[in-house]
Amino acid sequence: MRSTSTISFLIASIAMPSLVLAGFAQTSVDLSGLQSWDIDGSILNESRSFQLAEPGPIVDFGYIILGINYDITIQTMNGSTLSDLNIRFGNSDGSFHGSWPDTFRPGEGAPFGGTQRFTGSFSTDIHLNEDGLFLVELFESINDLPGADAILLEGSTMSFNVFIPSPSSSAVLGFGALAVSTRRRRS
């Protein structure tokens, strides 16, 4: 009679090749010139969409952004402060699927205007829709004077670390579940 740990080991051994077939891709995008004009929801705010994954049906868990690296330089205008700028992430249809908040404030804690560079990275789990497009939008926490409040200067980039699923991952996991259920029926 095989123990549960033996069955778990066999399932893990079978699943490992599928994890090797899955992969990661890093896509860097240029955000230079993107401007923030108004508070959240305003049609004046600027956004850009980027193709981060191949369009097509969602396989397994789909494409997932697991990490974001940023190197951006913000210049504020019209009385705005660095901490006012928000960057929103989402899918092309405006939806957001993930546990990490959809809004990021690179200048948080900088309650003054001017020009400043911000760099860093963070982990996330944003699930992309079937079209593989990802949206980056700027908006302000507070609407200051009329006109643009902030602009991302030349060389402002973000890199997205995207998990690419293997088409066979769910089949292997299904086979493992079948093996366990078959074993349980025989016991």
Question: In terms of pTM, does the model score above 0.85?
Answer: no
Q: What pLDDT digit, counting tens, does each position of 68-115 carry?
A: 999 999 999 998 999 999 999 888 887 888 777 788 999 999 999 999
Q: What pLDDT digit, counting tens, does each position of 27-39 carry?
A: 899 999 999 999 8
Length of the chain, in residues: 187
Domain boundaries, the chain: 1-22+166-187, 23-165
159 contacts 68 by C-beta, under 8 angstroms? yes
Distances from the Cα of 7 to the Cα of 15, 124, 169, 175, 186, angstroms: 12, 32, 18, 12, 13
**Which of 40, 11, 30 minimizes the C-alpha distance to 158?**
30
Selected from 2.60.40, 2.60.120, 3.10.20, 3.90.550, the CATH number assigned to the domain covering 23-165 reads: 2.60.120
